[in-house]
């Protein structure tokens, strides 16, 4: 959530930032915030004046009673009572204005940083780096969904029977490969200084609001109506909320956490060829990295996170490129976002496997996640960052397609110690 300080002190920058994100009615929304804030301050001043006047008059009553001036004392009592009633009305008015102000701020997205390029959609994203070599596959190369059927690795139809589309069943060596990837990603995160946590897979409304999934993305989340809980779309949500309503020691920053979790996304509105096989699922596994940092160091943290994800793809021997997202393609909460995409050779397309974002103070303001400045002793909002490191389905799709042979799927050397085999085939035991 944008801070009132930012909106009031850098109004034009905020408006321009929202326009870069193509937020409709950006200027009017900010002007409405400023108008409500002015009303809030004026009402607070009136209330403070009424309370001060009431306190001053109340102090006179005792002295007048001692002097025997009962009538004067009673008159002041009536005046104080009237002031109390006026104060109650002002308090209700102030609370109403404050709530309207908070509700309005909740609807306004984060503003992008200066490095974010202009653009309306994904076609305007900028490739900032490429790595790896695209494989040369034979003409009869198969897409991953056909390879999975050929070698009995994933049963998509069985998943439909048990649950529905987008919930595949992994079999034999493929199930072991899933575990191997999870272990590999977690171990690489540990080596990079991330402390592993195992979070809940369901969260409450406060957690969803804290990281920005609510109220922006409730339609994409699975809702447990009876308990009013939400299945997590990513471990970012519970892991970042560990630090909700917390004041951290400056010397403990940056805080680095990682977590494996299953992720659940309704993906409402998805259709067509882009949802075939593993390209888009409702349930999938992912390892997430999260950082809590000081504002002046958060972009150094972002660079370290980008390097971490890139090294994972290098070790997996996958061709990749890194995109800096344009303003129109960014999420509600991010200040800057980089997407990693891997080349899926049989499909001849790029598949997104990671998003790494800096939210600056936007999430922290919603979370009330702060640190105490060691010099000023005052509390300041932290910066929060997160990234997929990595999401499994499209990584698996690219691994299967890029490394296919007539005998099976070649496993990258980095994964062999984790899965115990060097070829993925129908010999599942």
Q: Are 222 and 264 in contact (CB under 8 A)?
A: yes
Range(s) of the domain holding residue 134: 122-424
Q: Last residue of a domain, which of 106, 130, 158?
A: 106
One domain, residues 229 and 271? yes
234 is in an annotated binding site: yes
Residue 429 lies in a domain: no
**pLDDT value of position 54:** 78
One domain, residues 170 and 56? no
93 is in an annotated binding site: no
One domain, residues 94 and 140? no
Residue 143 lies in a domain: yes
What does the alpha-carbon distance between residue 385 and residue 251 come to, in Å, rounded to a whole number? 18
One domain, residues 51 and 163? no
Q: Last residue of a domain, which of 106, 140, 163?
A: 106
357 is in an annotated binding site: no
Residue 114 lies in a domain: no
What does the alpha-carbon distance between residue 344 and residue 128 come to, in Å, rounded to a whole number? 19
Phi, psi torsion values for 338, nearest 5 degrees: -115, 130
Question: How many DSSP H helices and E strands does the chain contain?
Answer: 13, 19
Q: Which residues pair with 230 in a beta bridge?
A: 203, 223
265 is in an annotated binding site: yes
Q: Are 222 and 266 in contact (CB under 8 A)?
A: yes
Q: Which two tokens stand for residue 8?
A: 């009031």
The CA-CA-CA angle for residues 58, 59, 60, to 5°, reads 90
Q: What is the separation of C-alpha 325 from the centre of its chain, rounded to a whole number of angstroms?
A: 15
The residues near 137 (Cβ < 8 Å, ≥ 6 apart) are 345, 346, 401, 402, 404
Residue 398 lies in a domain: yes
Residue 283 lies in a domain: yes
107 is in an annotated binding site: no
One domain, residues 59 and 134? no
Which 3 state secondary structure label does DSSP give 385?
strand
**pLDDT value of position 360:** 98
Q: What is the separation of C-alpha 175 from the centre of its chain, rounded to a whole number of angstroms?
A: 28
pLDDT tens digit at each of 429 positions of the chain: 999 999 999 999 999 999 999 999 999 999 999 999 999 999 999 999 988 887 887 778 777 777 777 777 778 778 878 888 889 999 999 999 999 999 999 999 999 999 999 999 999 999 999 999 999 999 999 999 999 999 999 999 999 999 999 999 999 999 999 999 999 999 999 999 999 999 999 999 999 999 999 887 778 899 999 999 999 999 999 999 999 999 999 999 999 999 999 999 998 656 555 679 999 999 999 999 999 999 999 999 999 999 999 999 999 999 999 999 999 999 999 999 999 999 999 999 999 999 999 999 999 999 999 999 989 999 999 999 999 999 999 999 999 999 999 999 999 999 999 999 999 988 866
Give how many domains the chain has, as a whole number. Answer: 2
One domain, residues 255 and 359? yes
86 is in an annotated binding site: no
pLDDT tens digit sequence for 411-423 = 999 999 999 999 9
Element (H, E) at 106: helix 70-106
386 is in an annotated binding site: yes
Across 345-397, where does the E strand assignment appear?
349-358, 370-372, 379-381, 383-391
One domain, residues 34 and 159? no
What does the alpha-carbon distance between residue 422 and residue 408 come to, in Å, rounded to a whole number? 10
Residue 51 lies in a domain: yes
One domain, residues 171 and 289? yes
Phi, psi torsion values for 308, nearest 5 degrees: -65, -50
The residue with tokens 């999934």 is 213
200: left (phi over 0), alpha (psi -120 to 50) or beta: beta
Q: Are 414 and 184 in contact (CB under 8 A)?
A: yes
Residue 304 lies in a domain: yes
Q: Last residue of a domain, which of 106, 130, 145?
A: 106
Residue 344 lies in a domain: yes
Q: From 346, 341, 319, 286, select the one nearest 144 (Cα to Cα).
A: 346
Q: Are 385 and 278 in contact (CB under 8 A)?
A: no
Name the strands in the sheet holding 370-372, side by side, starting at the edge strand that comes first in the sequence. 247-249, 370-372, 379-381
């Amino acid at each position: 959530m944008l801070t009132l300080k930012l909106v009031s002190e850098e109004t034009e920058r905020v408006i321009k930032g929202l326009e870069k994100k193509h937020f409709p009615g950006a200027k009017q929304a900010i002007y409405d915030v400023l108008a409500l804030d002015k009303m809030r301050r004026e009402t607070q001043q009136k209330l403070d004046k009424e309370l001060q006047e009431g306190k001053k008059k109340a102090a006179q009553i005792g002295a007048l009673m001692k002097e025997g001036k009962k009538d004067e004392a009673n008159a002041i009592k009536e005046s104080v009572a009237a002031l109390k009633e006026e104060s109650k009305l002002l308090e209700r008015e102030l609370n109403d204005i404050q709530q309207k102000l908070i509700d309005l701020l909740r609807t306004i997205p984060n503003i992008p940083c200066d490095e974010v390029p202009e653009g309306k959609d994904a076609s305007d994203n900028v490739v900032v780096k490429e790595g790896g070599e695209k494989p040369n596959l034979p003409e009869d190369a198969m897409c991953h969904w056909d390879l999975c059927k050929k070698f009995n690795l994933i049963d998509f139809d069985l998943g439909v029977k048990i649950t529905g589309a987008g919930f595949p069943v992994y079999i034999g060596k493929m199930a072991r490969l899933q575990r191997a990837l999870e272990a590999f990603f977690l171990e690489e995160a540990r080596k990079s200084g991330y402390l592993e946590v195992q979070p809940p897979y369901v969260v409450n409304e406060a957690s969803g609001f804290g990281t920005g999934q609510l109220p922006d993305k409730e339609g994409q989340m699975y809702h447990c109506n009876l308990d009013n809980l939400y299945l997590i779309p990513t471990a970012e949500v519970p892991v970042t909320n560990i630090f909700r309503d917390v004041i951290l020691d400056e010397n403990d920053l940056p805080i680095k956490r990682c977590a494996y979790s299953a992720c659940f996304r309704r993906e409402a509105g998805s259709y067509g060829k882009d949802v075939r096989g593993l390209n888009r699922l409702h349930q999938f596994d992912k390892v997430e990295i999260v950082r809590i940092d000081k504002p002046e160091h958060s972009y150094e943290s972002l660079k370290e996170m980008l390097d971490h994800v890139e090294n994972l793809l290098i070790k997996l021997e996958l061709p990749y490129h890194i995109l800096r997202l344009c303003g129109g393609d960014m999420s509600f909460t991010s200040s800057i976002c980089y997407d990693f995409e891997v080349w899926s050779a049989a499909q001849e397309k790029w598949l997104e496997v990671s998003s790494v974002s800096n939210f600056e103070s936007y999430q922290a303001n919603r979370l009330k996640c702060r640190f105490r400045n060691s010099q000023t002793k005052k509390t300041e909002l932290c910066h929060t960052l997160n990234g997929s490191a990595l999401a499994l389905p499209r990584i698996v799709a690219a691994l299967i397609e890029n490394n296919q042979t007539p005998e099976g799927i070649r496993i990258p050397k980095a994964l062999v110690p984790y899965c115990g085999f060097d070829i993925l085939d129908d010999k599942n035991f």
